[in-house]
A and B are shown apart, each in its own frame.
Chain A
Amino acid sequence: MEKNKNQKDLFHISIPFEKQKKLSFYTDSSIPIEKYYNPINQDNYFLDKIGYPGKYPYTRGIHPTMYRQKLWTIRQYAGFGSAYETNERFRYLLKEGQNALSVAFDLPTQLGYDSDHPLAEGEVGKVGVAIDTLHDMEKLFNDIRLDHISTSMTINAPAIILYCMYIAIAEKQGLSSEQITGTVQNDILKEYIARGTYIFPPKPSIRLTTDLLEYSHKHTPKFNSISISGYHIRESGSNAIQELAFTFANAMTYIDEALRRGIKVDEFASRLSFFFSASNDFFEEIAKFRAARRIWATIMKKQYQAKEPKCWQLRFHTQTAGSTLTKQDPDNNIIRVTLQALSAVLGGTQSLHTNAKDEASSLPNEDAAKTALRTQQIIAFESGVGSSVDPLGGSYYVEYLTNEIEKQVYEYINEIQRIGGTINAIETGYFHNEIQNVAYETYKQVENKEKTIVGVNKFDTDTKRELHTPRLFSSDHSQINSVNEVKKRRNELKVTRCLSDLRNAITTDENLVPFVLAAVKSYCTVGEICHVFREVFGSYSANEKT
């Protein structure tokens, strides 16, 4: 009891929460609840398509007991301003019962520019935290023990740099790299398709992705070296089928590249993780998650011949769909988020982020962030939806939707292969076209009111808008001063040597992680390291036709 009041022990709070072990489950009226329910007639169709939780093809979930034994990870994406400010928010979220961290980086960091770069003007600390050097990462994880929490980092083009910084922080805390848990997004292909924070051309980018994959499976075996993301594809306007198809097409490209390097599929595929959106169409979303598990299990077992069952299991994080939030009547967003989060839970997600009600206007304020967190906690601890695994399994409608989505996803994956694979599809603008057509169609449906958005195109009399007060961050200026301070204190000779070693290594086949690790430990900046990459790899310019 005493311990929990101690700041330093803040991060132990999550442990009993995660490992809640109840032996028997009952409804509120004391009806006993079994782990899961099956049809009386378990014919071949049932066994092939639906089956049991924790068994291939995992339609019903990757664990036999799912949330009865281990709740999903409550992981709220956060980051703004300086490392100091974000560290405060992290500690607040952990205190309120979140059990993992998820870092949002600002755009200059995501695009490999230091805070003092001309293109960073006005963007420093805006959509995430500004990280220029290891010094900022030290502040970001101040008083947070990396062996007690897992951290997800939304970083792609410069993923290798932030991953190395995380290892360096662990070492400073006296931990070995084998102990760290978490995820680095490291999914560059979807950046060209949807999210837009690519730096280098696809081929050298995939080399960086694969270097990280290869290094991670040896040195950080508990870390997910990639989170292959459909979320941003969906947010840029795709439908649920495209979301899955494009994500799996990307995943297969990474696997092919790793296999080409001679890494065995069973050695790394179990550390591949995924990230999907939970949008408005409740049953379609549930069916999407179920279909996704079956498709992935089939691809891994049949196509890639993986022997290790862990490689067949699709593990994914889910975020509720930000693009469905409205500025009008922001309270309505709480209801949208609740339904979306529920679909993710009924779909068997491993980890969840719920959006805050004010995110159509700004980064969430503390109250809105708390309500978003409470939404998950109410689903987890009050609703009882986690008492039986895959409670919708066997529903005629849900199984029909699951089959339909599966069928159409395969058609799309085959189409992408027919046109020459993902990189070709990126370079010819295929993905952009496919997504834009759907996005435009959706927009038209909203405009002519075929698709209803409550408070926007229907029931829109007397809608409220909250007067938004922009958050005051520490300025670009203070971050620039802080980088300059670090530059003054560091050993310039070491910096120069690390950067030239890295430059030389790029021209060989060597794995670049050790070189980047040495560079970040010498306090080279994100911008300096990316500059070396830019010099050798060049920059990518998209083929963007509308």
Chain B
Amino acid sequence: MYSEKCLGHTRQMKKHEQIRVLIGKVGLDGHNRGAIILAKALREKGMYTVYSGLRQSPEQIAAQAMKYNVDIIGLSSLSGAHRSLFPKVASELSKLEGRHILIIGGGLIPDSDIAFLEKRGITKVFNDSNISIEEIVNSIEQLVFKRKYSLKN
């Protein structure tokens, strides 16, 4: 959609504005290998990245996102609780006047749940095990750029 042109803009944008990300483990799930690897990789790609730590409630995730003034939250869940927890993060964010913060999600999420989540405030879901970090970085850059651009207009 905005691939080529947008990508150019975001790379330019990055020079004076670092993207800020919160990688959040929401719910009781203890699988953190992917979340930690992603946090490290995003940092290596130049993004300001906070990792929430295990077992955060939706309220705690939203509060951390506000505290660190992030542009985007990447939620991770492998326990099957994403259908209740991801939308709750979105509603908690609205309560804190954080509607401008984007939410993406990943983990063990069936394809058939993607539309459900997208309707409830989750902009994009990464559930493929062969997705490269480069693709996630590009997606984050595009989404954040698009959001900032749309807010300015």
Chain A residues in the interface with B (C-beta under 8 A): 107-108, 110-111, 113, 119-123, 126-127, 191, 195-197, 235-237, 323, 326-328, 360-362, 436, 439-440, 443, 447, 456-457, 460, 465, 467-470, 541-542, 544, 546
Do residues A122 and B130 form an inter-chain contact, with CB atoms below 8 A? no
Do residues A121 and B108 form an inter-chain contact, with CB atoms below 8 A? no
Do residues A470 and B113 form an inter-chain contact, with CB atoms below 8 A? yes
Do residues A123 and B28 form an inter-chain contact, with CB atoms below 8 A? yes
Query: Which residues of B lie under 8 Å from residue A119 when comparing CB positions?
Result: 28, 57
Given A108-B28, A237-B33, 8 other A-B contacts at CB below 8 A? A107-B81, A111-B55, A126-B81, A362-B110, A436-B36, A470-B113, A541-B53, A546-B51
How far, in angstroms, from A542 to B30 measured CA to CA in the complex? 12
Q: Verify if B32 is at the interface (C-beta below 8 Å from A).
A: yes
How far, in angstroms, from A120 to B55 measured CA to CA in the complex? 11
How far, in angstroms, from A360 to B109 measured CA to CA in the complex? 10
How far, in angstroms, from A546 to B38 measured CA to CA in the complex? 10
Q: Verify if B148 is at the interface (C-beta below 8 Å from A).
A: no
Report, as a range, how many residues of chain B touch the other chain: 35 or more
Q: In the complex, which residue of chain B has the Cβ closest to the Cβ of A194?
A: B30
How far, in angstroms, from A546 to B39 measured CA to CA in the complex? 8
Interface string of B123-142 (1 = CB under 8 A from A): 00001111011000000000
Do residues B130 and A439 form an inter-chain contact, with CB atoms below 8 A? no
Do residues A326 and B112 form an inter-chain contact, with CB atoms below 8 A? no
Q: Verify if B94 is at the interface (C-beta below 8 Å from A).
A: no
Query: Which residues of B lie under 8 Å from residue A544 when comparing CB positions?
Result: 32, 51, 53-54
Do residues B57 and A196 form an inter-chain contact, with CB atoms below 8 A? no
Q: In the complex, which residue of chain A has the Cβ closest to the Cβ of B55?
A: A196
Query: Which residues of B lie under 8 Å from residue A460 when comparing CB positions?
Result: 130
A127, A326, A440: most-surrounded residue (chain B CB, <10 A): A127
Q: Verify if B31 is at the interface (C-beta below 8 Å from A).
A: yes
How far, in angstroms, from A435 to B40 measured CA to CA in the complex? 13
Q: In the complex, which residue of chain A has the Cβ closest to the Cβ of B35?
A: A546
Q: Within the complex, what minimum Cβ distance (angstroms) separates B129 from chain A?
A: 5
Query: Which residues of A lie under 8 Å from residue B82 when comparing CB positions?
Result: 122
Do residues A456 and B129 form an inter-chain contact, with CB atoms below 8 A? yes
Do residues B36 and A107 form an inter-chain contact, with CB atoms below 8 A? no
Do residues B37 and A440 form an inter-chain contact, with CB atoms below 8 A? yes
Query: Which residues of A lie under 8 Å from residue B55 when comparing CB positions?
Result: 111, 196
Query: Which residues of B lie under 8 Å from residue A467 when comparing CB positions?
Result: 111-112
Q: Within the complex, what minimum Cβ distance (angstroms) separates B92 from chain A?
A: 13
B30, B39, B40, B132: most-surrounded residue (chain A CB, <10 A): B30
Query: Which residues of A lie under 8 Å from residue B6 when comparing CB positions?
Result: none
Q: Within the complex, what minimum Cβ distance (angstroms) separates B120 from chain A?
A: 13
Do residues B85 and A468 form an inter-chain contact, with CB atoms below 8 A? no
Nearest 8 CB-CB pairs, A to B?
A196-B30, A122-B84, A122-B81, A107-B28, A126-B80, A544-B53, A456-B130, A546-B51
How far, in angstroms, from A107 to B26 measured CA to CA in the complex? 13
Query: Which residues of B lie under 8 Å from residue A361 when comparing CB positions?
Result: 108, 110
Q: In the complex, which residue of chain B has the Cβ closest to the Cβ of A113?
A: B28
Q: Verify if B29 is at the interface (C-beta below 8 Å from A).
A: yes
